[in-house]
Amino acid sequence: MNIPLMDLKAQYRSIRDEVLKAVEGVLEGGRYILGPEVKALEEEVAALCGVDHGVGVANGTDALVLVLDALGIGPGDEVITTPFTFFATAESISRVGATPVFVDIDPGTFNLDASELRRRITPRTKAILPVHIFGQPADMDEVMEVAKESGLWVIEDACQAIGAEYRGRKVGSLGHAACFSFFPTKNLGGYGDGGMIVTDDESLARKLRSLRVHGRTPESKYINAAIGYNSRLDELQAAVLRVKLRRLEQWNGDRRRKARLYDELLRDLPVQTPVEAADRSHIYHLYIIQTEKRDELVEHLKRHGIASGVYYPIPLHLQQVYRSLGYREGSLPRAEQVAKRTLALPLYPEIPEESIRRVAETVHRFFEGS
């Protein structure tokens, strides 16, 4: 039997009755956009993070774009971020007309190296956009300290990390604002697109609520205070996400336990298993190993019916569309090195333990040369 990288249907089957009931409730209720389900989900996600406000939007990319826009970041401004992330992180910076500035990463945790931040700050720098990559929080105290010194905004790209903790605090509560994605494969995923911004800043939340509906004022649908967007989370997705949110902690716990099992089974091999910093809880959106023989191992697993994934083969500073920024091969050596070595193994909350054992045995056989 083939082993997929993830299996969204297995999860659906486990919550089918509740999901169908929630969907039916929305359909019968007759409110399909910005109704009670979105409002309730906003409150529940904000509460999970320990912050005051949640603003549901159409997807995680829009969450990033809207928050950058709402903070007044635009042409001429620079935003410091990591090159080792999904394209949307840097794309959102470019989308508002600002320039992404990439700093190198810690090759163990894959997160941006906070000790590199100070030397990349210029008079144009407006914000830092750390990503909690693969589900492990970035070094947020160091990021916040640098930001405070220089008066910068900090926006967490928490799209892969809902529920993860840093020094006892949830991601989403660590910067000035944070963005989540509810893309189906994320740890909290809907059956379509969705996203949310969370923040303690009331005036920012108010701006975001306006921007997502064409810059409309709360007083009147026909008075527009800004050039906005049409970027709303819909009621159907919110209703589904509320069913799933009740199980998020359990699912993240299942991922963590299964990651531990991989760690144990892969211990004596020439692969580097994920590094989990002692002061944070990693929620393993992806289980990433590193090996010099990455491409051969991908092929070997495939021949044995096991899916794997490469995240991310091209660091963003080397993307063709960013050529004009002036980075070259060698500019950010640690990100470049890691991009040649990383590989995601199958992991999802419902993955059977036997599947993990079979994946691990197949990796063993690869290194034994059979």
Ligand X SMILES: *Cc1c(COP(=O)(O)O)cnc(C)c1O
**Site residues (CB under 6 A) for ligand X?**
59-61, 85-86, 88-89, 131, 157, 159-160, 181, 183, 193, 195
| Strands, sheet with 165-166, edge to edge from the N-terminal-most edge strand | 169-170, 165-166, 280-281
User: What is the helix (H) or strand (E) element at residue 198, kind and residue range?
Assistant: strand 195-199
The least CB distance from residue 260 to ligand X, in Å, is 23
User: Minimum distance between the CB of residue 149 and ligand X, rounded to whole angstroms?
Assistant: 26
The minimum distance between CB 63 and ligand X, in angstroms, equals 7
Smallest distance from the beta carbon of 104 to ligand X, in angstroms?
17
Which residue shows structure tokens 């893309």? 183
CB closer to ligand X out of 111 and 291: 111
> Which residue's Cβ lies closest to ligand X?
60
First to last CA, the chain: 20
The three-class DSSP label of residue 247 is: coil
Minimal distance, residue 183 CB to ligand X, in Å: 4
Residue 178 structure tokens: 């944070």
Say whether the peptide bond before residue 191 is cis (omega within 30 degrees of 0). no
User: Quick one: 308 or 355, whose CB is closer to ligand X?
Assistant: 308
To ligand X, the closest distance from the beta carbon of 85 in angstroms equals 5
Choose between 85 and 290: whose C-beta lies nearer to ligand X. Answer: 85
- Secondary structure (3-state) at 153: strand
- How many residues make up the chain in this entry? 370
Looking at the Cβ atoms of 233 and 360, the one nearer to ligand X is: 233
Nearest residue (CB) to ligand X, 88 versus 288? 88
Residue 273 has φ and ψ, to the nearest 5°, of: -80, 165
Cβ contact 298:344 at 8 Å: no
Residue closer to ligand X, measured from CB, 60 or 172: 60
Q: Which of 180, 179, 112 is nearest to 147 (CA)?
A: 112
CA dihedral of 58, 64, 70, 73, whole degrees rounded to 10:
-150
